[in-house]
Amino acid sequence: MSGFLIDSNVLLDIATNDPHWSDWSATQLAACANHGALIINPIIYTEVSVGFQRIEEVEIFLDSTMFRRDPLPYDAGFLAGKAFLAYRRRGGTKTSVLPDFYIGAHAAVSKLTLLTRDTARYKTTYPTLTLIAPNMKRGLS
């Protein structure tokens, strides 16, 4: 395993001290850190940034010594576009899901495990993607 792509929902759980999810998210993030690199990309950074007032706060929270900052692979962009098109053709109506497709595609093409709480779309769209999520039997400890 080359690392773990950390979805923004997990990071926001921790940043906002979500009463339902922060403990699970913090425990899984720590377990991932013990097993490999923690990775974010510009989309994840952007989504997490909405929870902060200043860029300095985001930079402290997403400390570059803890989180590896990977660029978005172009082949993941192609895969995300095709996944989004298929979603729309199946009757999908949400227009703001493209970032999620890109996050999943990044994990898939880079062979990263995705730590997330939002599994339905990822499992359907990227069936070979390894996920760590609350409703999955697999987790790290």
Of the candidates 103, 97, 41, the one whose C-alpha atom is nearest the C-alpha of residue 77 is 103
In the prediction, which pLDDT does 99 show?
A: 87
pLDDT surpassing 60 at residue 138: no
In the prediction, which pLDDT does 2 show?
A: 76
Which tens digit of pLDDT belongs to each residue from 33-54?
999 999 999 999 999 999 999 9
In the prediction, which pLDDT does 95 show?
A: 65
Which tens digit of pLDDT belongs to each residue from 61-119?
999 999 999 999 999 989 988 988 888 888 877 766 788 889 999 999 999 999 999 88
Question: Is residue 115 classed as helix, strand or coil in its secondary structure?
Answer: strand
In the prediction, which pLDDT does 98 show?
A: 82
Query: Which residues fall within 8 angstroms of residue 12, CB to CB, at 6 or more apart?
Result: 18, 47, 48, 51
In the prediction, which pLDDT does 139 show?
A: 55
What's the pTM value of the predicted model, to 2 decimals? Answer: 0.89
In the prediction, which pLDDT does 120 show?
A: 81
In the prediction, which pLDDT does 26 show?
A: 98
In the prediction, which pLDDT does 54 show?
A: 96
